[in-house]
Amino acid sequence: MSVGIDKIGFFTPNKYVDMVDLAHARNEDPNKFLIGIGQTAMSIADKTQDAVSMGINATLRYMDKIDKDKVGLLIFGTESSVDQSKSASLFVKNALNLPASMRAFEVKEACFGLTAGLMMARDFVRVHPDQTAIVIGSDIARYGIKTPGEVTQGAGSISLLVKDNPSILELNDGHSDYSEDINDFWRPNNSKLAKVDGKYSTQVYLDFFSKTFEAYKKQKNLANKDFTAITYHMPFTKMALKANRIAIEGQDEATSQRLTDKFEAAKKWSSLVGNIYTGSLYLSLLSLLEHGNLKAGDLVGLFSYGSGAMGEFYSGNVVLGYEDQLDKSGDEELINSRRKLSIAEYEQIFTDSLADPQDGVALLSDEKPGTWYFAGTKDDIRQYKKI
């Protein structure tokens, strides 16, 4: 029985910062951000877009193409949670009128959350082949104004529909994992901004990639050349480029060129959107599918990483006709129609979005009609509305 990804929905808010503008404002050489970090732009969420609203908007991208009554599981992976108790899944379920007879909950392990959900969804569909599962990763990466991490911020959500006989990517059996209790990136309950040891984090990420990639190849009796492409968790594209360099090291020319070309295709969306934490690996998968000229049966390796830290490598095969399931022009429109912010506007929006909502004060959104947004709290209950 084949189980895998049948639909991919993506959302990012309607504002962005250009990295050249940010470099000038921070007295940095623009090439440090464009080449050294590998980022061209980053999406900015104002106070009306949060993990929940972005997750609803990402799922809405494919909602009219699925049978709602078959959804038996809804998992929400995030590290930008809006409540310590109630899961974001329930807000999404309510907004999208999904059936009451489903299991709905939230998971957390930094940027690994969506992968954790995807693996649970795969097992769920294997046991319940007549049902489907929705898995969402949704986050806002905030490090702080004038910090080294500022250039690696972003906001967005990816939603996946998992089912049997999937139309996009069949997930293969097996996976290799590696975990350790370390402090490379974390966000304590008393902070709205992430704490990070960025250089250490890159070292650990690369070490976990090498370990899980080697273990996976051994487990499945595969060589580097067997992969058409490898996609990576991509908090900023330079980090993933370093992992791809490990993958092509010592390979024949054709393998090295292919993995390099596919990496270029996979990094396109992330370089424009920035870090979306849990969704980052899957934004790079979406970008690969939309720009990588893949063929049916192509083997794609996926490296998931969550700080703290947890790494997993697994793979999938591309399904015939996968292009018909994607909405490349819709994704382009979402990214290209964002409004460019001045650095002063960005700093104001950033500061405003850190403040807790004033209870009873309604918020208004400037997103396009049909978009869901956070409309403020009433009696400390979060309100989500559609424009």
* Footprint on this chain of ligand COA (rule: CB under 6 A): 29, 31-32, 35-37, 111, 148-149, 151-152, 185, 196, 198-199, 201, 205, 235, 238, 305, 307
- For residues 186 and 308, is the Cβ–Cβ distance under 8 A? yes
Task: Name every residue whose Cβ is closer than 8 Å to that of residue 264 and which is 6 or more positions away in sequence.
Answer: none
Is residue 233 part of the annotated active site? The answer reads: yes
Angle formed by the axes of helices 253-273 and 280-291, nearest 10°: 120
Report the alpha-carbon distance of residue 322 to residue 105 in Å, rounded. 29
Is residue 79 part of the annotated active site? The answer reads: yes
Neighbouring C-beta atoms of residue 206, cutoff 10 Å = 16
Report the alpha-carbon distance of residue 210 to residue 212 in Å, rounded. 6
Q: What's the min distance (Å) between Cβ of 155 and ligand COA? A: 14
Q: What's the min distance (Å) between Cβ of 308 and ligand COA? A: 10
φ/ψ region of 110 (left if φ > 0, alpha if ψ in -120 to 50, else beta) reads left
Displacement of CA 39 from its chain's centroid (Å): 16
> Across-strand partners of 42?
17
Q: Report the alpha-carbon angle 241-338-343, nearest 5.
A: 80
Q: Return the number of the residue (139 or 298) whose C-beta is nearest ligand COA.
A: 139
Residues in the chain: 387
**At which residue do the structure tokens 């959804």 appear?**
71
> Across-strand partners of 303?
232, 313
Q: Which of 109, 233, 290, 312 is catalytic?
A: 233
Q: Which of 111, 150, 170, 312 is catalytic?
A: 111
Residue type at 75 in one-letter notation:
I
Task: Name every residue whose Cβ is closer than 8 Å to that of residue 253 and which is 6 or more positions away in sequence.
Answer: none
DSSP E strand boundaries for the chain? 3-11, 15-18, 41-43, 71-77, 103-107, 132-141, 154-164, 169-171, 176-179, 185-186, 195-196, 229-232, 299-306, 310-318, 339-340, 372-378, 381-386
φ/ψ region of 224 (left if φ > 0, alpha if ψ in -120 to 50, else beta) reads alpha
Active site residues: 79, 111, 233
